[in-house]
């Protein structure tokens, strides 16, 4: 991955707010920051950032991200398991 984990100050000491670029979840402490088109964008996990990059550039011939071993459907299943911002199916 090209991104990095950052650790924020506890919420009561910091007024900055990070929401996941993909699912919108508020990220309280540990934020995955990915550099996309020269902008630093926050995500709740690296897997979510990977899905975001794959879905936004699926038809882009100049995309920089290499394909994962998992297909898109399998990656979305992983996202649902790991991301509290997306409700899992019962």
**Tens-level pLDDT at each residue, the chain (90 residues):** 589 999 987 766 667 788 999 888 888 889 999 998 889 999 999 989 988 888 875 545 554 444 456 676 777 777 777 665 555 443
Q: How far apart are CA 13 and CA 83, in angstroms?
A: 25
Domain ranges within the chain, ordered by starting residue: 4-82
Task: Give counts: helices (H), strands (E), the chain.
Answer: 2, 3
Closest CA to 85 of 51, 45, 58: 45
How far apart CA 36 and CA 9 sit, in angstroms, is 24
Q: Give the integer Cα–Cα distance in Å for 33 and 41.
A: 6
Q: How far apart are CA 68 and CA 85, in angstroms?
A: 23
pLDDT at 15 (0 to 100): 73
Tokens of 76: 């979305």
């Amino acid at each position: 991955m090209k991104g990095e984990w950052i650790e924020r100050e506890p919420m009561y000491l910091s007024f900055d707010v990070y929401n996941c670029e993909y699912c919108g979840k508020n990220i309280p402490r540990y934020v995955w920051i990915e550099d996309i088109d020269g902008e630093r964008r926050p995500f709740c996990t690296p897997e979510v950032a990977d899905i975001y990059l794959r879905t936004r550039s699926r038809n882009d011939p100049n995309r920089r991200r290499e394909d994962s071993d998992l297909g898109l459907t399998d990656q979305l299943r992983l996202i649902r398991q790991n991301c509290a911002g997306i409700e899992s199916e019962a």
